[in-house]
Structure 1
Amino acid sequence: MTNFTYTDVLKYVLDLPAQDIWRSRWAGIPSYNDIRSECGLIRATDFDEFSDAIDPQNIEKLKSVYRNVDDVDLYVGGLLERNYPGAKVGTTFFWIFIQQLLRFRQCDRFWYEHPEAGFTKIQLKIIKGVTLSSIMCETGNNIQSMQVEALQPPKGINFPINCQFIQKLDFSRWLETTYEDTTFEYTTYEEFTHESFYEITETYEIYS
């Protein structure tokens, strides 16, 4: 990203990370210290207090570039953080992603979990059981096997298995003749908006 973002108009290579830092400053994005204090980390008064999320060698690099802890750009500080347990990003970016997801799902009446979407609780449970692996098995071009975690390398416990053993969407629950009265239970709006930060990470398997 540093040396291969070429523009035909300007005829030179752009440094994409540098551009992202400039964009955040131009848009008035708060500093790394401002945002990290919103997501449960302490507000640092000196660089060494970043150690709860950033390794010492990276803190030294920040000291060599920034004069004050409040000058550290969100983009830079967020990328330097150690990964949140089970995630691919640090605590600050993880918190931002979850906040975005919460707002997307609760403000979009077409979101599949929204009470107005019309799915019963059993139908929602079935939909949530469908994985990317099962979609690829069902719609791919003659795919016979697939690893359970589709976006992870097929190694270790994530070895490929036959597609017939991967859970598929059960359309029988959309046939009115198969329903019992108890299956017509719908999610209320209060239930939909009640999920906390940590509950939603489990609902969407953000950790995987």
Structure 2
Amino acid sequence: MLQQPYDLYQPGLTDEYIIGMSDQLAQAMNDSVTEEVTNHLFQEPRQHFGKDLATINIVRAREHGVPSFYKYRQLCGLDLMNDWIDMIPNFQNSTINHYLDLYSHPEDIDLWSAGVAEVPEKGSMVGPTFTCIIGKTFRDLKRGDRFWYENRGWPSSFTPEQLAEIRKIRLSRLLCDGGDNIQTLQLKAMEIPDYEEHLYIYLQLSQTAI
């Protein structure tokens, strides 16, 4: 879709993609990377190979001086991995064995490699280190953006009453309004449909409306 988005030009296809992404279960994360992005990333038509995303991520981090995985765990206040044994609760044994062949010490492991291989937090697709980085990034983006709708003290800031009205809007409402002809969508658009969960939300909304 990024390189050849022509399907999206057809009437109704954007709606189908939105509905598909909202009601289909995402694959679980693991420490493997599909060959589609290690050998065929941005592959041109009639070519048999493309770029390697894993290599690109590691090399450009080194070129820009991005600290190691160890340093980021330190920044996030997480337990430090001073020895290979310390990695056991956070990584699969097979991953640690691969690192033994590639790195001299846990301090040397590249951020991206260990970040995608770390055992995910409960209910999350990423481990504690990436959770920390993503959380800090979004926090700083919101606090530092004068136009973030929740920030106060600016001429452009919303009043508490306006914010209360904005917070009533759900992503599912925006998708239905912005789509060409989306008739129904679960209330929590970022979660797979769950009858009991959505019935509970519906009853809450009904009581609020009354």
Higher relative contact order (CA 8 A, sep 6+): 2
Where in structure 2 are the equivalents of 1:103-182 lying within 5 Å? 103-115=140-152, 116=154, 117-154=156-193
TM-score of the pair, normalised by structure 2: 0.67
Residue 140 of structure 1: how far off its partner (Å): 1.8
Output one character per residue of 1:174-201: Cα deviation in whole Å (capped at 9) or x when no partner: xxxxxxxxxxxxxxxxxxxxxxxxxxxx
Give the counterpart of 2:117 among 75, 80, 84. Answer: 80
Asked if the contact 1:33–1:43 (Cα under 8 Å) also holds between the matched residues in 2, the reply is: yes
Residue 165 of structure 1: how far off its partner (Å): 8.8
**1:68 aligns to 2:93 (yes or no):** no
Q: 1:146 to 1:6 in 2, by over 3 A?
A: closer
Partner of 2:11: none
Q: Matched residue pairs, number?
A: 162
Give the counterpart of 1:20 among 46, 53, 57. Answer: 57
SS at structure 1 position matched to 2:50 = strand
Asked if the contact 1:55–1:82 (Cα under 8 Å) also holds between the matched residues in 2, the reply is: yes
TM-score of the pair, normalised by structure 1: 0.68
Inter-partner Cα distance in structure 1 for 2:101 and 2:140: 37
Amino-acid identity (%):
30
- Name segments (4+ residues, structure 1) moved above 4 Å: 155-159, 164-167
Residue 88 of structure 1: how far off its partner (Å): 1.8
Inter-partner Cα distance in structure 2 for 1:30 and 1:38: 10
Partner of 1:53: 90
> Which amino acid in structure 1 is aligned with residue 99 of structure 2?
L
> Which amino acid in structure 2 is aligned with residue 4 of structure 1?
H
Output one character per residue of 1:53-103: Cα deviation in whole Å (capped at 9) or x when no partner: 223332222222212111100001100111122222111111111111111
Asked if the contact 1:134–1:166 (Cα under 8 Å) also holds between the matched residues in 2, the reply is: no
Partner of 1:32: 69
Gaps of 5+ in 1: 168-208
Inter-partner Cα distance in structure 1 for 2:75 and 2:164: 33
Inter-partner Cα distance in structure 1 for 2:203 and 2:171: 14
SS at structure 2 position matched to 1:79 = helix
Q: 1:13 to 1:139 in 2, by over 3 A?
A: closer
Inter-partner Cα distance in structure 1 for 2:55 and 2:81: 24
